[in-house]
Amino acid sequence: MNTIDTTESIVETEGIERTFNENYARAMKLFPYDSPNQHQYQIISRILQLKDKGTLLLEAPTGSGKTIASLTSLLARRNDGEKIVIIVRTVSQMEPVMREWGRIVGGYDGFREKYSQDEDIMILPVMGKARLCKQLPFLRQHMKFSNQAVHFLCKSLPCKLYPTQQQFFKGQYAKPLAMRLNMSLAGQSKKGSPTIDRVHQFYSGLKSCGYYKQRELMREASIIIATYPYLNGNLLEATLKNMNVDINQVYFLIDEAHNLVSPSRISLSIEHVEKAIFLFGKLRILQNLKNLMKLSKKVQLHEIGSDEEIDHLRRVISECVKKVRDKYRITIADLSDDALISLNGFLSAIYNGDIITRKNRMEIVQSTPDVMLSGLYGARLVVFQSGTFQPINSYRKLFGMHSAETLVSKESDISNQFRCYLRYRGLTSSYKKRSPVLYKTMTEVIMEIVPLSPRHVLVLCPSYDFKDELSPVISEFIETNNLETKVLEETRSTSSEEMSNLLINAAQPYVVLAIAAGKLAEGVEVVHKGNSLISMVIMAGLPFSPPSKDRAIIMQAMTHAARDKRAANQFMMQIPLERKVRQAFGRTIRTERDRGALVILDFRAEKFLKQSMKLTRVRNMEQLKGRLNLLYDDFPNLNELRSNNNS
């Protein structure tokens, strides 16, 4: 290397170091706590060091403060005109992100001060038409509408709120409206946490369509929060257009990104196809779909129809959406019917997975997320984060991000945790072992452990069927023994918001009978001023994924993407199981001050989880109670926690 090259290298290194120091100082100015913990320091440093157009997969323990660290880092790197897009799994999981944003801005006064200093950190949670349509409640009084039907009906029904081309994107009031929304959320953060309900109330109070007004506000916000569907090509492209940016001006933060690997299915039934035949006539492609559904096989695309036939059918559906046409005997009721919605969704995804048929149904199985995530190429930065990202190199391959960097921030101190499995009296949720005697024994063990927990207890079942068998036995036990134990039960219709709000405001501990990987298992915060209100998780059996009829197809796709058959096999059983258990236990540890116990009532944990999760084997109840009493010694209960925080 000559002298000139050496000099240029030194100058470049000094420039990189200077940029890092400046961005780190900005991040620390934004960081709302005294100082980052060890996990947060690693995350902040690594994100600030990433090269432009870089990708990072980061794993840090649940409750370690990943989101606040990632968000402050991206804000520190962000330049004028650039956007941060945060992707979460569900709308309810937007609230933890909004809470962290509220802490960064420092409430109403802090937001105004930062804005006056040209620190533009306005936020916008993005919701779909079904949540924001003002017509929907009135329409549902007369007929049944699914949420998906709103996308069809929005353009086919006369609506005074639907903006004309002249009205749309004028945006002269967008900035003041975005300010109003952000000041409202910032004010709410001072008292607790900004909520999706507040956002919904804001749009409901407008005289115009909330959904299309939201699209205007996207241009004004620096931080956009959206759900996983916004990673899909067409929707991602439309979102970038609404934000008025190119992909190279966007930083992406994808939360709980391990969920992207779960195989997704898009289903179409023979009834849906028959309804389409009734509406459109016997098109060859529809007849092919109907005939193939009588078989059980993997279908090749050419057996369904040509590209031209698929495009033609999509255009026919699109025309019906735009105009109610007598030619096709279309009515508003037809447009709201699941048949056209399912057919349109199926055709939209027909090139993105394996197609199989069985029992009068056809499914597109999307085994790996690499095709969907290819739309992120060219982004300013992409950060995938999770509390359970192992084996991280296999995730990197399944994401199609072969050159991505990785960061694993491991737990250093687990003295505030006790994780065990109880090998006792044959406890298991194995289907062959289920019996009235098993449910009775499991109930007796659960009810003996519960009183030792100072705060709420999650009792997580592997399925609704298992819970429905266990629930009446627990109720009978409580009644027979005249206990005052309160039970909150998750049902198929219960919302996570209802459950979390009840637990947050409860005066005494609840036993929460719920489903592993259900409505309280991931992304839902049950906290008081950051401290977890859940101190124990009891796994009433192990939540293995049910056997999949598509196992061979999914295995083939995962093996191809991961280039590793052993890793693909792990993703079918071992990894989903460990992820569900880790995410469930993560509800107990939200700060370093929390203490949590994980008790698994299934002897199979010895084979599948003992080593990877460092579980202690417990042989009897006395040993278990002794360890739990030691863990919770001097640990404040619900009322003491609230009193300490209020004093």
Look at residue 137 and tell me if it is in a domain: no
Name the phi and psi angles at 82, rounded to 5. -95, 155
Among 367, 412, 504, residue whose Cα is nearest residue 39: 412
Q: Prior bond to 391 cis, omega within 30?
A: yes
527-580 confidence digits (pLDDT tens): 888 899 999 999 999 998 776 666 777 777 777 767 777 777 777 788 889 889
Look at residue 140 and tell me if it is in a domain: no
In 3-state terms, what secondary structure has residue 381?
A: strand
pLDDT of residue 496: 81
CATH number of the domain bearing residue 207: 3.40.50.300
pLDDT of residue 378: 93
* Cα(17)–Cα(28) distance, integer angstroms: 16
- 272 and 253 within one domain: no
Look at residue 147 and tell me if it is in a domain: no
- 206 and 59 within one domain: yes
372-405 confidence digits (pLDDT tens): 899 999 999 999 999 888 888 889 988 999 899 9
Which residues are within 8 A (CB) of 511 and not within 5 positions of it... i.e. 6 or more apart? Answer: 446, 450, 456, 457, 459, 474, 485, 486, 487, 488
Residue 187 burial (CB count, 10 A) = 16
pLDDT of residue 326: 43
* Cα(545)–Cα(463) distance, integer angstroms: 10
288-293's contacts with Cβ under 8 Å and 24+ in sequence apart are 289/362, 292/357, 292/362, 293/269, 293/357, 293/360, 293/361, 293/362
List b or e across 622-632, with b for residues whose CB sees 16 or more CB atoms inside 10 angstroms: eebeebbeebb
74-127 confidence digits (pLDDT tens): 999 999 999 999 999 989 889 989 999 999 998 888 888 887 776 778 999 999
Confidence of residue 165 (pLDDT cuts 50, 70, 90): very low
Look at residue 105 and tell me if it is in a domain: yes
358-379 confidence digits (pLDDT tens): 889 998 888 788 888 999 999 9
Look at residue 353 and tell me if it is in a domain: yes
- 596 and 557 within one domain: yes
Look at residue 138 and tell me if it is in a domain: no
- 445 and 388 within one domain: no
Half-sphere exposure of 329 (CA within 13 A, CB side): 7
- 571 and 507 within one domain: yes
- 386 and 361 within one domain: no
pLDDT of residue 181: 93
- 313 and 257 within one domain: no
- 383 and 293 within one domain: no
- 404 and 392 within one domain: yes
Look at residue 474 and tell me if it is in a domain: yes
Q: Count structural domains, the chain.
A: 3
- 232 and 273 within one domain: no
Mean pLDDT of 205-225: 91
State the chain's mean pLDDT as an integer: 86
- 343 and 199 within one domain: no
Domain span at residue 460? 417-646
* Adjacent-strand bridge partners of 227: 88
Tokens, residue 183: 């000041």
- 362 and 509 within one domain: no
pLDDT of residue 329: 46
